[in-house]
Structure 1
Amino acid sequence: MRPFRHRRLAAVVTLATVLVTAAPPTAAGADDSGNRRAGYHRVGYFTQWGIYGRAFPVKKLDTSGAASRLTHLNYAFGNVSEDGRCFVDGGPGEGDAWADYQRPVPAQESVDGVADAWGEPLNGNFGQLAKLKAKHPDLQVLISLGGWSWSTYFSNAARTDASRKAFVASCIDLYLKGNLPVLDGGSGGPGAAAGVFDGIDLDWEWPNWPGEPGNVVRPEDRRNFTELVAEFRRQLDAYGRTTRKHHPLTAFLPANPAAMDAGYEGREIFRYLDFATVQGYDFHGAWDPVTNQQSALRVPSGAPDNPDFSAEVAIDGWLARGAPREKLVLGIPYYGRGWTGVSGSGNGLFQPATGPAPATFEAGYEDYRQLKTLAGNGFTVHRDLRAGHAWLFDGTTFWTYDDPAVVLQKTLYIRRAGLAGAMVWSLDGDDDNATLTRTIGLGLATP
């Protein structure tokens, strides 16, 4: 690293330290004296579909340096069937078994440089994850169940004691024991994926609260979610007695206080979870008629909505509901939200817009690795240092996003608040040097 980069990084660290320590303490920030962790969770989501348009194979986690800076890797996603079972299916909208474990990965995309042969028991992403774990034995890999699109039938799975037992057993059998369905050509089979996954991440979006249209939602989801995590803990512990390992159980939790109250028994669920990741993004987007922040650390001054969302509001919300701070992991986005047709004056923030900004894969949504190229290329970077967010504006188009300075500020907030660590959605949004993941590694490094 060249000397000028050392100086620039040191300046960012100093600035972020000042910003965090100078901020007035809140419920999350008032624990500076006695609750610093000896180590931090650094959790990254790897998307099943990232191997396609984003050209992000598992190998990039190794070559970019990201894997060595993560403690947990969540594979997104596993599906839940209408009758409440974990399943793998290549049907439209149901899954992508080809990407998961059937696709022969060529040598140039393989973690160890060895190409897959057609019909091997474990090809695709699962096979590459096994190779990645061999190179990084301290990395734990979890299967994340649900997500926005596949939470449709979580309520069915959690509804009764019998359905919970059957659902959990099916997930452990499929993913931890690795008993994969046999596909055309021969991939899969009993034990084919054994050892790939260490645990389970529950990404039910959301119990007793609207998510994607069509989701099954019941008032009893709130209590049933607690019973579900308890059942997962019981069966994972029983399985662990046979493997002589602890199998982690985590959950992704919302930022919206109303969703917290509707769907979760805050203190109770943490009896069974190793930790929970808290949504730290999607606070605003092109569904709003005016530009705004999507992932600010604190609510900005002059924000048009009251109350409003922020990372601090989300963390404080969970603390107020009995969550232990040492089990809360703050989510950080590797993407931005954007508007175009922005009118008004000034720097573009809180101004009317006509709709979502054009983008590579989805209007109004762009990866950090693309957004970083806009700075100085017709766009100006703006910052609200106290609120902890940044945005890009060219006079017409506006992007709210997290760059390394914002990410570093958030890691220092995590340290001061005594939280458990950071989570990112998703790793394929970072650049080829894993700049954001390296920043998290720096900010959460332990002596």
Structure 2
Amino acid sequence: MRRSMLGRLAVAACSLSLLTAFAPAAAAQADGGGHDRTYKKVGYFTQWGVYGRDFQVQDLEANGSADKLTHINYAFGNISPQGRCFTGNVPGEADAWADYVRPLDAANSVDGVADTGEQPLAGNFNQLRELKARHPGLKVLISLGGWSWSTHFSDAALTPASRKAFVESCIDLYIKGNLPQDGARGGAGAAAGVFDGIDLDWEWPGSAGDTDTKYRPEDKQNFTALVKEFRTQLDAYARSQKRKAGYELSAFVPTAPAKIDAGFDVRRIMRDLDFVTLQGYDFHVSGEPRTAQQSALRARGDFSVDGTVDAWLRRGAPANKLVMGMPFYGQGWTGVSGGGDGMGQPATGPAPATWAAGYEDYKALKKLADSGTYTIHRDRRRGHAWLFDGTTLWTYDDPQVLRAKTGYIREHGLGGAMFWSLDADTEDGELMTAVDRGLRGH
């Protein structure tokens, strides 16, 4: 899959050399946590999922997820070599057809009405607008970058002038909704009201990401200044529109302490960000020579959710602005030898899968778990699960693991949960339901 979390698989493997032992999580800050708290539930909707997976915005209504989500992050918006937000029909770089041109029939539309040829907004953007009309409290953010599209972030953030122009372009395109004309589609204000804010998914300021992504030592200070510029311009536009709720600003942030320290001035950026979503997965990936956990809640001397939370708390992040990332997919190895339950054993390579070797949706892994061919193994103390059939192993989160993680969120006063990605859940939204129930203390 292009531009998906598959690109992020490399970051955890590359970061393992930076590993340091994590101390137990710091005590949660007093922020009113508990049963009555409103937690953020942030799900990524993938632009490209409407194709091979045939996962439409309407499916969030059909499987009950829309009623449980507080935020949808639309993945992704790209940045041009000139440091501007842009869209268009450019293979591998932009997909205006999926975003706002593609007509949907009545069966695939949230409101049950087919798109016409004359309406200025169609595609995913129009469906998100229709979904928000049914769920007035739901917010939609445009997520900028991702693994494959962080290429020009460093250039865009380089100077005060480049930051100002970059932010202006993103607000113009996504918040004001001024889309490029594509036949009857697009035009001034065509997408106004679709997006309620911006999510910065720069992977990674100050350290290596994808092979063509630039990074500089000064990215850390430039990212801080970029966050400030987004906050300033978003607030100014909200005031001009007399928008009481304002526009939200969030960021996806890493696990590895070395990557945090290279690119994130934690105390300063947290003043201007409404929240951050923590990388809570890909701690180990299927390209590694041995099987290992990819998303454990706790793991001594290894990456873990608890270690990630602790790393951000120790650097000054408020607990109630930390939103825990959870995978709706698994990492898999085949050719596993050494016996036992398969964990920590040598493997010959990534396991065969539906979309890409070593990466499988939860809905497919659930079928494996129910097939009787695989055995479900659990490490309850560390909070993770895996499937093993004697040869192939999949490490993943199921409802039981997610219940433990939502309990951790409530216990530590965190801001909520984030999921990559919504199209990997079951048709009845099993994982989304587990998270929602867990955060409500059920």
Instruction: Tell me if TM exceeds 0.5.
Output: yes
Matches within 5 A, 1:225-240: 225-240=223-238
Other-structure match for 2:84: 85
- Root-mean-square deviation over aligned CA pairs: 1.4
**Contact 1:32–1:416 (CA under 8 A) maintained in structure 2:** no
Other-structure match for 1:384: 379
Other-structure match for 2:257: 257
Q: Secondary structure at 1:352's aligned position in 2?
A: coil
**Contact 1:223–1:265 (CA under 8 A) maintained in structure 2:** yes
Give the direction of change, closer, same or farther, for the CA distance of 1:33–1:159 in structure 2 (3 Å limit). closer
Measured in 2, the distance between the counterparts of 1:252 and 1:263 equals 12
- Structure 1 residue 117 displacement after superposition: 1.6
Matches within 5 A, 1:347-358: 347-358=341-352
Other-structure match for 1:172: 171
Other-structure match for 1:5: none
- Structure 1 residue 119 displacement after superposition: 4.6
Other-structure match for 2:389: 394
**Contact 1:338–1:357 (CA under 8 A) maintained in structure 2:** yes
**Contact 2:376–2:388 (CA under 8 A) maintained in structure 1:** yes
**Contact 2:24–2:307 (CA under 8 A) maintained in structure 1:** no
**Contact 1:328–1:420 (CA under 8 A) maintained in structure 2:** yes
- Structure 1 residue 120 displacement after superposition: 2.3
Measured in 1, the distance between the counterparts of 2:66 and 2:241 equals 24
Measured in 2, the distance between the counterparts of 1:122 and 1:254 equals 35
Other-structure match for 2:335: 341
Measured in 2, the distance between the counterparts of 1:324 and 1:403 equals 28
Other-structure match for 1:430: 425
- Structure 1 residue 285 displacement after superposition: 1.0
**Paired residue type of 1:269:** I
Other-structure match for 2:60: 61
The C-alpha deviation readout for 1:146-199, integer Å capped at 9, x for no partner, is: 00110000001100000101000100000010000001x321000000000010
**Contact 2:143–2:199 (CA under 8 A) maintained in structure 1:** yes
Measured in 1, the distance between the counterparts of 2:370 and 2:132 equals 39
Q: Secondary structure at 2:142's aligned position in 1?
A: strand
Q: Secondary structure at 1:241's aligned position in 2?
A: helix
**Contact 2:28–2:319 (CA under 8 A) maintained in structure 1:** no
Q: Which moved more, 1:35-44 or 1:310-319?
A: 35-44
The C-alpha deviation readout for 1:97-147, integer Å capped at 9, x for no partner, is: 100000001111000111112352100000100100000010000000000
Measured in 1, the distance between the counterparts of 2:418 and 2:323 equals 6
**Contact 2:25–2:307 (CA under 8 A) maintained in structure 1:** no
- Structure 1 residue 427 displacement after superposition: 0.4
Measured in 1, the distance between the counterparts of 2:256 and 2:286 equals 18
**Contact 2:74–2:142 (CA under 8 A) maintained in structure 1:** yes
Other-structure match for 2:281: 281
Match of residue 221, structure 1, among 219, 227, 236? 219
The C-alpha deviation readout for 1:33-52, integer Å capped at 9, x for no partner, is: 87515211110000001111
Give the direction of change, closer, same or farther, for the CA distance of 1:373–1:210 in structure 2 (3 Å limit). same
Other-structure match for 2:17: none
Measured in 1, the distance between the counterparts of 2:422 and 2:370 equals 24
Other-structure match for 1:76: 75
Measured in 1, the distance between the counterparts of 2:377 and 2:217 equals 43
Measured in 2, the distance between the counterparts of 1:82 and 1:138 equals 36
Other-structure match for 1:403: 398
Matched, 1:42 2:41: yes
Matches within 5 A, 1:431-446: 431-445=426-440
Matches within 5 A, 1:17-166: 26-28=24-26, 30-31=27-28, 35-36=32-33, 38-166=37-165
Measured in 2, the distance between the counterparts of 1:362 and 1:309 equals 24
**Paired residue type of 2:249:** L
Measured in 2, the distance between the counterparts of 1:359 and 1:119 equals 41
- Structure 1 residue 389 displacement after superposition: 0.2
- Structure 1 residue 32 displacement after superposition: 8.6
Measured in 2, the distance between the counterparts of 1:259 and 1:31 equals 23
Runs (4 or more) in structure 1 with deviation over 4 Å come to 32-35
- Structure 1 residue 79 displacement after superposition: 0.3
Other-structure match for 1:22: none
Measured in 2, the distance between the counterparts of 1:33 and 1:128 equals 39
Other-structure match for 2:13: none
Other-structure match for 1:311: 305
**Paired residue type of 1:288:** E
Measured in 1, the distance between the counterparts of 2:32 and 2:119 equals 48
Measured in 2, the distance between the counterparts of 1:277 and 1:444 equals 16
**Paired residue type of 1:264:** F
The C-alpha deviation readout for 1:243-263, integer Å capped at 9, x for no partner, is: 222100000000111100100
TM-score by length of 1: 0.91
**Contact 1:337–1:366 (CA under 8 A) maintained in structure 2:** yes
Q: Secondary structure at 2:307's aligned position in 1?
A: helix
Give the direction of change, closer, same or farther, for the CA distance of 1:178–1:34 in structure 2 (3 Å limit). closer
Give the direction of change, closer, same or farther, for the CA distance of 1:34–1:108 in structure 2 (3 Å limit). closer
**Paired residue type of 2:368:** L
Matches within 5 A, 1:285-304: 285-299=285-299
| Gapped regions of structure 2 (runs ≥ 5) | 1-22
Q: Secondary structure at 2:251's aligned position in 1?
A: strand
Q: Secondary structure at 1:353's aligned position in 2?
A: coil
- Structure 1 residue 56 displacement after superposition: 0.6
Q: Secondary structure at 1:271's aligned position in 2?
A: helix
Q: Secondary structure at 1:373's aligned position in 2?
A: helix
Other-structure match for 2:318: 324
TM-score by length of 2: 0.92
Q: Percent identity?
A: 62
The C-alpha deviation readout for 1:258-304, integer Å capped at 9, x for no partner, is: 1001001011100100000000000001121000000000016xxxx
Other-structure match for 2:15: none
- Structure 1 residue 57 displacement after superposition: 0.1
The C-alpha deviation readout for 1:216-250, integer Å capped at 9, x for no partner, is: 11110000000000000000000110222210000
Measured in 1, the distance between the counterparts of 2:118 and 2:327 equals 36
| Gapped regions of structure 1 (runs ≥ 5) | 1-24, 301-306
